[in-house]
Amino acid sequence: MKRQEMEIAFAKKLNEIRNRGGEQTLWQQAVKELNKEFGWPIRQLCEIAGMTRDGYYKWLKRKASRYQDEQSELLEAILKLEQEHNWTLGYLAMTTQLKFENCLSFTAGLKRVTNCMRKHGIRANVKKKKHNRIQRQEEYVKENILNGKFDRETKNDVWVTDTTETVYGDQEIHKARIHIVLDLYGRYVLSYNISPTETASAVVETFERAFEVEPDACPMIHTDRGSAYCSKLFNDYLAERNCIHSMSHPGHPWENSPMERWWNDFKLIWLEKHPRPKTIEELEQLVKEGIVYFNTKRAYKSRNGLTAEKFRNQAA
């Protein structure tokens, strides 16, 4: 092997080690790897690297520092967690997860974890959500005025609402959204609506049907912070009806727990006990019959052993 060819191979090896985030002592590392790969003499490789053989063997027999041991442990823990979490952990999430799972024998802060991940090209494979800033300026966000006071003494005092996704179809599966308006007094369903997607117009239509049942009502309306409920169209509609709007906080489903409980019963007790509707018309009929069932046939201990309809009629 000519010396010139060895020098070229040595330069390539140095670049290879740099690209993979190699050690600071990359010259010694290059000598070690080339000797192992090609069996080239240590003496010649050390000459090319500009070091003595004694210096190389001293490096080879060195003991890893405590910091290097910790860095190896940190890298191994990071790679393991990224695989377990499908490469969704960013710098802060990784630091939090390392601490939560007690993965390390030492403490690693955000800066150290970030530097380690950047050095080895480890990044979370998650697309950032694009925010429509123009649309967000038009959103109307309200406080949680209801504040968990779900037990009401009179009907039409507070109405809660929500939407859930369901499916129908035989060969081809279609999705639809079911909207419900529920009076907290007796948990009575005033109206429903089915739409292809969750839109402000579909929500307004659901409330229009509710006000057809109770035209003189002026309830507080409690919702989550879905885009339809934050829309200008829906909030203008409530203002025209002189209704106060209350909203749950993001990620706090229990702040609308009566509606969540109703959905849970509706799905488990009704939808899952019936065959999947083949058409939108069959879905409409199934939802309608389910609401009649929960309003007029299903008795609950929380309503003094009465159905929602009978409990509601007590207030008439």
- Residue 134: pLDDT band (50, 70, 90) is very low
Q: Is residue 128 part of a domain?
A: no
| Interatomic CA distance for residues 17 and 12, integer angstroms | 9
Q: Is residue 130 part of a domain?
A: no
Do 55 and 71 lie in a common domain?
no
What is the per-residue pLDDT for 281? 94
Do 222 and 243 lie in a common domain?
yes
Over the stretch 42-101, which tens digit does the pLDDT of each residue have? 888 888 888 888 888 887 777 667 887 788 889 888 888 888 877 777 888 888 888 888
Q: Is residue 97 part of a domain?
A: yes
Do 205 and 106 lie in a common domain?
no
| Interatomic CA distance for residues 19 and 13, integer angstroms | 10
Do 284 and 304 lie in a common domain?
yes
Do 109 and 200 lie in a common domain?
no
Number of alpha carbons in the 13 Å side-chain half-sphere of residue 62: 15
What is the per-residue pLDDT for 53? 85
Helix, strand, coil tally for the chain in percent (to 5): 50, 15, 35
Do 109 and 177 lie in a common domain?
no
How many domains does one find in the chain? 3
Do 114 and 145 lie in a common domain?
no
Do 140 and 29 lie in a common domain?
no
Which of 60, 83, 103 is the C-terminal boundary of a domain?
A: 60
CATH number of the domain that residue 213 is part of: 3.30.420.10
Residue 312 clears pLDDT 50, i.e. is over it: yes
Do 197 and 242 lie in a common domain?
yes
**Residues 230-254: what's their mean pLDDT?**
90
Do 229 and 146 lie in a common domain?
yes
| Interatomic CA distance for residues 93 and 112, integer angstroms | 13
Average pLDDT along the chain: 84
Over the stretch 182-222, which tens digit does the pLDDT of each residue have? 999 999 999 999 999 889 999 999 999 999 999 999 999 99
The model's pTM: 0.56
Q: Is residue 14 part of a domain?
A: yes
Do 41 and 176 lie in a common domain?
no
Do 83 and 144 lie in a common domain?
no
First to last CA, the chain: 102
What is the per-residue pLDDT for 64? 63
| Interatomic CA distance for residues 283 and 241, integer angstroms | 31
Domain that holds residue 76: 66-119
Q: Is residue 283 part of a domain?
A: yes
Q: Are 179 and 195 in contact (CB under 8 A)?
A: yes
Residue 34 clears pLDDT 80, i.e. is over it: yes
- Residue 143: pLDDT band (50, 70, 90) is confident
